[in-house]
Amino acid sequence: MATSPAPQLRTSFFRQALITSGLFVLGLIVVNFIFFKPGTVAVVLLSGLYQGLLFFLVAAGMSIVFGLLDVLNLAQGSFFMLGAYSGFAIYGALPEGTPVEIRFIAALIGATLVGGGLGALTEAILLRPLYARPVFQIVLTFGLSTVIVEVVRALYGPAGLVPIEKPAALDTTFSVLGGQFETYRVFIIVVGFVLMVSISLLLQRTRLGIVIRAGVQDSQMVQALGINIRRIFTLVFALGTAVAALGGMTAAPFLGAYPSMGGDFLLTAIIVIVIGGMSSYEGTAIASVLVGLTRATTEQISLQYFNTPILASISILIFMVVVLLVRPTGLFGRE
Partner 1 sequence: MTSTPRYNGIINLAALATFALIPYVLAALTGQPDPNLTGLARWHSAAESVYCEKGLTPTGVILMVETTLFAAALLVTQWTQGATRLGAMGNALKQDGGYMLALLVLIVIPFVIAWGTDSSICIRGKAFFWESVFIDVFVLAILAISYNLMFGFSGVVSFGHAAFFGMGAYSVGLLMHHLAWPWWLAVIGSLLIGVVIALVKGVIGLRIKGLYFALFTLAFAQVFYLLAGNRLLTDITGAEDGFTFAVPDWLNATKNRLFFYYLALVIFVLAFFLVRRLMNSPTGKVLSALRDNESRAQMLGYNVFHFKLIAIVLAGLLATGAGVLRGIVLKGASPEVLSLSYTFDPLLMTIIGGQGTFAGPVIGAFGLHLIEETLRDTVLTIGGVEIKIGERWALILGVMFILIVLVFPYGIVGTWRLQWQKWKAAQRK
Binding site for partner 1 (CB under 8 A): 72, 126, 129-130, 133, 135-136, 138-140, 142-147, 149-151, 154, 267, 270-271, 274, 278, 306, 308, 310, 313-314, 317, 320-321, 324-325, 328-330
Contact, 100 vs 170, CB < 8 A? no
DSSP character string of 60-90: HHHHHHHHHH----TTHHHHHHHHHHHHHHH
Is residue 262 within 8 A of residue 81, CB to CB? The reply is yes
Least gap, CB of 148 to partner 1 (angstroms): 8
Burial class (CB in 10 A: 0-12, 13-18, 19+), 167: middle
Min CB(84)–partner 1 separation in Å: 20
Closest approach of Cβ 43 to partner 1, in Å?
Answer: 24
Nearer to partner 1, 250 or 284 (CB): 284
Please, what's the b/e burial string for 292-326 (b: 16 or more CB within 10 A of its CB; e: otherwise)? bbbbbbbbbbbeeeeeeeebbbebbeebbeebeee
Which helix (DSSP H) or strand (DSSP E) does residue 176 occupy? strand 173-176
Q: Nearest approach, Cβ of 139 to partner 1 (angstroms)?
A: 5
Q: How far is the CB of 312 from partner 1 (least distance, A)?
A: 10
Note the Cα 224 to chain centre separation in Å.
32
Single-letter code of the amino acid located at 45:
L
Closest CA to 271 of 77, 115, 93, 103: 77
Nearest CB to partner 1, comparing residues 94 and 138: 138
Nearer to partner 1, 145 or 219 (CB): 145
Q: How far is the CB of 103 from partner 1 (least distance, A)?
A: 30
Bridge partner list, 173: 182
